[in-house]
Structure 1
Amino acid sequence: MKILVTGATGFVGSHLLKKLLPEHQITVLTRNIEKAQKEFADKVDYLSDLNGLSELNDYDAVINLAGEPIVAKRWSPAQKDKICKSRWDITQQISSLIQASENPPNCLISASAIGFYGARDKERLDEASAGREEFSHQVCKHWESHALSAQSNLTRVCVTRIGIVLGDNGGALAKMLPPFKLGLGGPIGHGEQGMSWIHIDDLTELMLYLLQSPQCKGIFNATAPNPVSNKDFATALGKAIQRPAFIPTPAIALKLAMGEMSELLTEGQFVYPGRTLLSGFQFRFPYIQDALDNLFAKPELCHN
C-alpha cells in the first residue's frame, strides 16, 4: 500500500512507522525534512507541504496525526490558535485533495482526542456521547468535522479519539516519571478524576486494524476498555517502578503553574471504546497494571 502520513516524527507517528515500513511504501509530510531524514533516512519519501498537489490519486491511504502538542506550552490566545490551526488546516487540506481526486485514497485515518468529551466527572462515555462546550471539545469537534468531510463511497474515514498514550521514549509517561522516580509521586488533587489511557502498542495496532478493515468507518475511541481514576493510576505506576506513590499534588498548584491547561490533569473522563470493541479489535493491554508492567520491563524505562 502507498500511504501518506502526517505527524510521522511525533511520539505516536514514529512508533506507527516502525510497523508500517516493512510492508508499505510511505511518504512523510513534514515541515522539517532534515529532522525526519535523521530518523527515517531513505526508507520513506518526503513532502514539505501539500501546496503543489491538486489531488491524491497516487495514494491508497492517508494517516493524519499532525498537530501542535497540546501540553507543549501554557494556553495563551496565540498558543490556542496554534493548537487549532495545526490540526484544522492540514486536515481540511487533506480532505479537499481527497474530494478532488478521481481515484482517491480508499481510507483516511485521522487522529482526534478524548478531549472531545470535555471534563465529565464519573460519567461513563462512549463514541455516542455528546461533547461539553469547552476549548478541548471545540478543537476536536472541528478537527473531526474536517476529516469526516472526506467520507464518500470511494473513501472511508476513521477518526480515532485518542486517550492518554503510555509508551517508552516520550509521551505522557516521560512527563509523569520524574517525581515518581524520586518517591514524590501520587494523585493529582482529589484523585477521583478519570484517566482514559492506551498502551502505545494497542494504539498503533488499532490504526493498522482500521487501515486493513474495509467495514470500519466513523468514530472509534482509542482508549483501553478499563479506564481508571487518577489515584488508581498513581498506585499502579508506583507499583510498576517500585516507588511509593501517595504524595498528592494540590490542584491549585497546577492551576498556578499551568493556567487553564491544568484542567487536563485535574479533571478527566472515563471513556469506553464501545465501537472499537464491536468492530472486532482486541486489546493486548486492557488493564493498567499489565500495561505499565510491560513498559517498565523494557530497558528504556528501567529504574535509574
Structure 2
Amino acid sequence: MKTILISGGTGYVGTHLISALINAGYQVHILTRKPQTSDHPQIRYFVWKDFQAPAQAFKGVTTLINLCGTPLAEKRWTDLRKTEILHSRILPLKSLLTPALAAGVRHIISSSAVGYYPEGKHDESSLPGQGFLSNVCVQWENAAKEWRGKGVITDILRFGLVLSPDAPIIRKLLPLARLGINLSVGRGNQKLSWIHVQDLASIFLFLLENPQNKAINACSPQIMEMREFATVLQEGKYTLLPPAPSFVVKGILGQRATLLLDSIEAKPEILKNLNFPFAYADPRQILQK
C-alpha cells in the first residue's frame, strides 16, 4: 500500500482528497497544526510546528501533496496579510524539502492557481501576469521547482475556482441567491476558470499514477462567465436585481475584488491531451455531489 503525505490537508480540498485517496487504497499521513486522531486504519495525523514535520510523518511516503496556503478572500489585503499569503505558500515547501529528500520522497504534487496568468485566454505555456496574485503564484511555483532541481518529480496544479455544493463560497452565496439576489458582479461576462472538487481529487489520483513533472491547469475545459455562475446559483430563477457595479465591488473588497472581476480563461490543455476524463465539465453540474 503506497503512503501519501499531505500538508495543508485539513481544509475543504484536503478533506475531499483524503476521502478519494482512502477509497483508492492509499495510506494517508496528514500534517496538522493541532493534534488530531482517526480510527481509520489508513489515516495517521502528525503535528507540525513552524513548518517542522516529525520524521515519522515521512515513513514509507512515496509522494508529498502540498495544499498549504492561507485563504485569499477572507481578509482585506493589507501589507501584513499579503506577506502572510505569500509565506504560507512558500515556507512549507522550503521547510519540507530537506526531510523529504532524506526520507526518499521522489514525487511532489504542489498547488498553485490560475491567478498565475494575466487576464485573457491561456494554456500552460502562457507567461505569468504582473499583479499581486501572479507574483505570489510565481514565487509559490519557484519554491516547488526547487524540489525539481533536487531530482524530485514535481507536478504543479494551477487550480481554478474549486466548487461543489459544500464549497465555502457556495455555502455563503447559495442562501443569498435563493433570496433572489443577483450574485453577478461587474460586467457579468468575465470568464471564470473553475473545477469541481471531485474532478480535482481525481486529477491528484491520476498524477499519482501518471506523474508529468509539469505545471498543469486544473480547471474544467468548459469555462463559464460570471453571469452564468450566478444563474447556476439561482437554480435558473430570474431576478430583477441588476449586478453589482465594479466600483461597488472594489469599494467593498478593495484589492480582493480582482478575484471576482478579473477575466481569466485557463484551458487544461495538458489534461485534455492526456485524455483525462472530466466527470463535471458542465457548469450546471456545480451543485451536484
Of 230-239 and 7-16, deviating more is 230-239
**Deviation of 1:254 (Å):** 1.8
What SS does the aligned partner of 1:132 have? coil
Paired position in structure 2 for 1:113: 113
Of 50-59 and 132-141, deviating more is 50-59
Instruction: Check the 8 A contact 1:95/1:147 in 2, yes or no.
Output: no
**Deviation of 1:25 (Å):** 1.4
What SS does the aligned partner of 1:75 have? coil
Q: Distance in 2 between the 1:21 and 1:228 partners? A: 32
Q: Which of 189, 192, 202 is residue 192 of structure 1 equivalent to? A: 189
Say whether 1:104 aligns with 2:104. yes
**Deviation of 1:33 (Å):** 2.2
Q: Taking structure 1 as reference, are residues 231 and 286 closer, same or farther at Cα in structure 2, changes over 3 Å only?
A: same
Structural mapping, 1:277-288, within 5 Å: 277-288=272-283
Q: Distance in 1 between the 2:261 and 2:6 partners? A: 33
Of 105-114 and 53-62, deviating more is 53-62
Paired position in structure 1 for 2:141: 144
What SS does the aligned partner of 1:60 have? strand
Q: Distance in 1 between the 2:79 and 2:113 partners? A: 20
**Deviation of 1:245 (Å):** 7.5
Paired position in structure 1 for 2:13: 12
Say whether 1:209 aligns with 2:206. yes
**Deviation of 1:56 (Å):** 4.6
Instruction: Check the 8 A contact 2:124/2:216 in 1, yes or no.
Output: yes
Instruction: Check the 8 A contact 1:113/1:162 in 2, yes or no.
Output: yes
Q: Distance in 2 between the 1:11 and 1:219 partners? A: 22
What SS does the aligned partner of 1:285 have? coil
**Deviation of 1:250 (Å):** 1.8
Structural mapping, 1:18-57, within 5 Å: 18-22=19-23, 23-34=25-36, 37=37, 40-41=38-39, 43=41, 44-49=43-48, 50-53=52-55, 56=58
Q: Distance in 1 between the 2:112 and 2:127 partners? A: 15
Q: Taking structure 1 as reference, are residues 280 and 94 closer, same or farther at Cα in structure 2, changes over 3 Å only?
A: farther
Uncovered stretches (5+) of structure 2, i.e. residues with no partner: none
**TM-score normalized with structure 1 length:** 0.86
Q: Distance in 2 between the 1:255 and 1:133 partners? A: 19
RMSD over aligned Cα atoms: 2.2
Q: Distance in 2 between the 1:113 and 1:57 partners? A: 29
**Deviation of 1:211 (Å):** 0.9
Structural mapping, 1:68-87, within 5 Å: 68-87=70-89
Q: Distance in 2 between the 1:132 and 1:53 partners? A: 38
Q: What percentage of aligned pairs have identical amino acids?
A: 28
Structural mapping, 1:261-272, within 5 Å: 261-272=256-267
Structural mapping, 1:247-258, within 5 Å: 247-258=242-253
Say whether 1:276 aligns with 2:271. yes
Paired position in structure 1 for 2:231: 235
Once the two structures are superposed, residues 156-180 of structure 1 have per-residue CA deviations (whole angstroms, 9 ceiling, x without a partner) of: 1110000111113233312322321
Q: Distance in 2 between the 1:250 and 1:170 partners? A: 25
Equivalent residue pairs, number: 283
Instruction: Check the 8 A contact 2:77/2:255 in 1, yes or no.
Output: yes
Instruction: Check the 8 A contact 1:57/1:105 in 2, yes or no.
Output: no
Q: Distance in 2 between the 1:28 and 1:55 partners? A: 8
Q: Distance in 1 between the 2:167 and 2:271 partners? A: 25
Q: Distance in 1 between the 2:232 and 2:205 partners? A: 28
Once the two structures are superposed, residues 213-250 of structure 1 have per-residue CA deviations (whole angstroms, 9 ceiling, x without a partner) of: 14x2211101000112112222233235x463853112
Runs of 4+ in structure 1 off by over 6 angstroms are none
What SS does the aligned partner of 1:294 have? coil
**Deviation of 1:78 (Å):** 0.9
Q: Distance in 1 between the 2:53 and 2:127 partners? A: 35
Q: Taking structure 1 as reference, are residues 25 and 63 closer, same or farther at Cα in structure 2, changes over 3 Å only?
A: same
What SS does the aligned partner of 1:249 have? coil
Say whether 1:294 aligns with 2:284. no
**TM-score normalized with structure 2 length:** 0.90
Q: Distance in 2 between the 1:263 and 1:6 partners? A: 27
